[in-house]
Structure 1
Amino acid sequence: MSEQRSVACSVAEANVLQETASSSIAKNAEIYGGKWWLLLSVLCLGWFMSALDTTVVNIALKNIAEDLQADVAGLQWIVDGYSLVFASLLLSAGSLGDRLGNKRIYLLGLALFTVSSLLCGLAPAYWVLLLARILQGGGAALMVPNTLALINMVFPGSKQRTRAVAFWAMTGSGALAIGPVIGGLLVGLFDWRSIFFVNVPIGIVALLASLSPRRIPEAGRRLAKRGLDLIAQIMAVLGLGALAFVLIEGAHLGWLSWPVLACLALFVIAGASFCYVRRADAIQCYLCAFLPFQPFRR
């Protein structure tokens, strides 16, 4: 009986989401007055930085090892710690954006990423750099899904939205590709700390530009009335974190080593638990797929 009520609420909620999205698109069309490139540039700044920091650090590892006396295993975690936290928190960051506002969570992630980049550049010891890289990964996770949600919300028409998402995707791909080149230039001209310091002015510019409602309007909190399912979010973080650890460390530690097997088991258990806890939402996904068809709305 409780599941039936949950499904009924989900259907009603989905209809509200469609109406909210339509009114938001109309409102934002008036706000921007055709200057879509300005919004897209602001949103892509954060995405560009987060993608760039995935590969830019690889060039500086030798210099970091010499300056901070880090061993090979420690250097690997400078790279992997960022990716692990980023992958683990993506789903939770998207859920927070739906409940607290996509712009609010995006700005929080952008600020966290900028501050942690400054900490990376100022790091006096290896453990400080590792902690700052973990914070960077958290900031990137808060930014990325909410930039895409904001783009989807404020760009009217499927044609404009398709172009915007394509540009967003190309921005990330380009940042990943040119990361080693930029890293090499910065390390060659300055030192390894410059690959992190370069994010600070970009982050400040993106923050100042994003704070204006004429740049990024405050998105509606589409699921504000629904509380955050803490158990499901913990299961998602554990499952994604365990899977990321397996994929990152499997070749290094050995696919049959006990840490890899333990994380694989954790991924299966956490994934099954997540599916069980959120089983009502699985039904909602099927219903939402059929909502545009009139016979299924009754």
Structure 2
Amino acid sequence: MKKFKNPIVIILVLICFNVKSQFITDHKINFEYIQLPKYYLDKSIKTFNVIYDSSFQVNNERQKMIHQIAVDSAEAHQKVKLSNWEKANKEMRKKHLISLSLWKEKTNQGMQITKPSEPIWPTYPEPYFLFPTVLTKAFNQLNVLKRINIEGFNSASSGFEVKIDNLGLEISSIKGDYISDNTTGVKSYVVKANFKMPLVIKASYQGNIFYEEKFYSKFSEKILYSGKTEYDYELWRIDNIEKEIDPWVQIQKDLWTNIFDKVNNSITEKVGYPKKNRNIGNLCAKKTSRLYL
């Protein structure tokens, strides 16, 4: 009897057990520091001088000239209207006097006729009215509270130079139209102005410009008025004149106010010594262990 022995393949499965544990603590470090300038000035320079140029005067003179042309034209038209009124009034008066003369002559002859009625006289022409032209105001006329302020430097009449040039307010159009409310459907009269007022700002030291930027060089749109009708808009304009209120003064003031924070930060980053705060998160591993079987 043969004994047949089959090979027995015993497969041993090794189980690997991985035990991992880790404890992490987050340490946040907060510290202050003074940032060094990107453009170094002479160590003796501790001040800056702000100069406001007035290139806008050229634009103002042009606006005044255009307005004067409109005034001259209106006065010429007014003279023509007055002359025509005088002629029409004189002719009508002559005709009326002739008819009165005939009436009186007939009544003197004993005739009973009706006295000619008073004619409708020509209306005296109304005086012309022109709204004042819009002019660019100098910075010191606008009562702007914000100023150039550079950390590490004081404003004075010497030091490095910050020159701000206002090229002038330019209005391309002022248009009104009725716009319906999306919710109520009620129409209101809205007047929009399209304008620009380029402001060029340069900072330099000994003729070397280290900062230059231009603001408001492109035309933008702003709602100038919103009310019930176009007639209310005209009343609003007349009321502003009577109260000596110029809405464009406030618009110019807002344009100036909105640039100072950006300009101050940009120049301070270049040559100033700004104080900075920084938080750093430091992750530290306390314990790590691994176990393999």
* Structure of larger gyration radius: 2
Q: Give the structure with the higher percent strand.
A: 2
- Output the TM-score relative to the length of structure 1: 0.21
Structure with larger RCO (C-alpha < 8 A, sep 6+): 2
Q: Give the structure with the higher percent helix.
A: 1
